[in-house]
């Protein structure tokens, strides 16, 4: 992995041209914009595991593109079926980098199916590789359009649900913006769309301990876009809601179970409980690729536990020691917010609302929107 320094204030996490992939090293933001050259799936795996790139959609796209650059000029000896096996094994390896976000395993499954099917209908290895590369590139292209659709559906829905208010104050957690996706963002996309329409009073972003995706990345995006915003600590959220300053919460998702239970950055569950207590609407904004219909509830979601260093040292583990030596640490990266605390789920195909008995019928929504 080589690196290059950019002087411009970058909001593009993934820079790709066929045969070349550079990832913005998000660990260095907001002070430095450094891009790392990713040459193969091993580089991709390390970049995802080490949080160079993070955010559910971005890690799926970065993983697929890291393999696309690896096979771009690969002299592969074997039959098309061997080429498909090669790709599937690399995809399985990439999925092992981070377990919670379903977007990565969903992409691996779809891309794996595609190359297997292609290998059955061609005699050329290069056709198998070409199909994979084009499908990985399409993920990058489609993500921005999906996010803009999420933003637009979300802004319309939030305004409808907030009758009587000309402008809204919206709280978000972690980073779900351009840096967590191919561009624009999901929950932050909703905030961007509200702002663009003149319907945002201000955004609140949480610090998002321990890795500080909120204070380093979301705050950076909000300042970059000149969106009025205030940073709060995660632990200030209850007091903030009690003061009546928040009209709605919008967060992203790493995995949404069939019943609507949602895994997202650690702390999301606390914010949802606070929102319920204070009568504040709580929304999840995510693409359909974040929905995992194979699991009935959030109990089955595997929650990634990260290194104690992220708590013991400053700068999400990269800086100096800030906690007492010898203390035990529990550092889950995500938590699960039960569907009962979620008002609605905003997707690129529209908003999933609850039926009269307070349950989501996500399967029906997904099936009815399939093109």
**Could you list the residues that contact ligand MRU (CB under 6 A)?**
54-57, 101, 174, 176, 180-181, 186, 213, 252-254, 264-265, 333
- Give CA separation, 350 vs 57, 249, 365, in Å: 18, 18, 9
Could you tell me the smallest distance in angstroms from the CB atom of residue 76 to ligand MRU? 32
Nearer to ligand MRU, 70 or 143 (CB): 143
Smallest distance from the beta carbon of 320 to ligand MRU, in angstroms?
A: 22
- For ligand MRU, the closer of residues 83 and 344 by Cβ is 344
CB closer to ligand MRU out of 302 and 359: 302
Nearest residue to ligand MRU, by Cβ distance, number only: 252
Least CB distance from residue 371 to ligand MRU, whole Å?
A: 22
As beta bridge partners, residue 6 has 33
The bridge status of strand 350-352 relative to strand 291-292 is unpaired
- Residue 226 CA to residue 195 CA, distance in Å, equals 10
Pick 213 or 281: Cβ nearer ligand MRU: 213
Find the shortest distance in angstroms from Cβ 99 to ligand MRU: 11
Q: How far apart are CA 366 and CA 371, in angstroms?
A: 10
Q: Please say whether the dihedral angle defined by the alpha carbons of residues 98, 101, 104 and 110, taken in this order, is positive or negative.
A: positive
> Where are any strands of DSSP class E within the chain?
3-6, 14-17, 20-24, 33-38, 168-172, 200-206, 229-232, 248-251, 255-257, 262-265, 281-285, 291-292, 334-337, 344-347, 350-352
The catalytically annotated residue of 143, 234, 254, 261 is 254
Which of residues 99 and 252 has its CB atom nearest to ligand MRU in the complex?
252
Active site residue 146: no
Whose tokens are 């198998």? That residue is 128
The answer to whether the Cα torsion of 240, 299, 255, 259 is positive or negative is negative
Please name which of 31, 98, 330, 103 lies closest in space to residue 210, comparing C-alpha atoms. Answer: 330
- The total of other beta-carbon atoms located within 10 Å of residue 134's CB is 12
Instruction: Give every CB contact of residue 370 below 8 A, 6+ residues apart in sequence.
Output: none
CB of 218 to ligand MRU, least distance (A): 10
Q: How far is the CB of 264 from ligand MRU (least distance, A)?
A: 5
Q: Quick one: 195 or 265, whose CB is closer to ligand MRU? A: 265
What are the φ/ψ torsions at residue 349 (nearest 5 degrees)?
-100, 0
Q: Which residues are catalytic?
A: 254
């Amino acid at each position: 992995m080589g690196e290059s320094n950019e002087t411009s204030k970058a909001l593009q996490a993934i820079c790709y041209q066929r045969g070349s992939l550079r990832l913005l090293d998000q660990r260095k933001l907001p002070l430095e914009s450094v891009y790392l050259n990713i040459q193969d799936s091993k580089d991709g795996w390390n970049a995802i595991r080490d949080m160079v790139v993070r955010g559910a959609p971005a890690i799926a796209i970065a993983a697929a593109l890291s393999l696309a650059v690896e096979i771009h000029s690969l002299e592969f000896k074997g039959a098309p079926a061997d080429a498909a096996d090669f790709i599937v094994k690399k995809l399985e390896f990439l999925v092992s980098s981070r377990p919670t976000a379903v977007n990565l395993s969903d992409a691996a499954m779809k891309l794996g199916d595609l190359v297997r099917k292609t290998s059955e209908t061609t005699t050329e290895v290069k056709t198998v590789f070409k199909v994979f590369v084009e499908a990985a590139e399409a993920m990058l292209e489609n993500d921005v359009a999906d996010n803009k659709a999420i933003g637009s559906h979300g802004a319309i829905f939030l305004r409808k649900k907030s009758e009587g208010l000309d402008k809204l104050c919206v709280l978000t957690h972690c980073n779900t913006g351009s840096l967590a996706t191919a561009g624009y963002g999901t929950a932050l996309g909703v905030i961007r769309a509200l702002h663009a329409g003149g319907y945002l009073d201000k955004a609140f972003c949480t610090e998002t301990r321990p890795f500080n995706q909120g204070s380093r990345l979301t705050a950076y995006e909000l300042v970059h876009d000149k969106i009025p915003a205030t940073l709060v600590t995660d632990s200030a959220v209850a007091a903030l809601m009690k003061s009546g300053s928040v009209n709605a919460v919008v967060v992203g998702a790493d995995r949404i179970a069939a019943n609507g239970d949602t895994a997202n950055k650690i702390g999301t569950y606390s914010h949802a409980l606070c929102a319920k207590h204070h009568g504040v609407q709580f929304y999840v904004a995510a693409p359909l690729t974040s929905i995992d219909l194979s699991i009935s509830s959030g109990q089955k979601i595997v929650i990634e536990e990260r290194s104690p260093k992220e708590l013991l040292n400053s700068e999400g583990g990269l800086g100096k020691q800030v906690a007492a030596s010898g203390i035990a640490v529990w550092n889950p990266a995500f938590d699960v917010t039960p569907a009962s605390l979620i008002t609605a789920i905003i997707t690129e195909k529209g908003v999933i609302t609850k039926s009269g008995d307070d349950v989501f019928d996500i399967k029906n929504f997904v099936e009815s929107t399939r093109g």
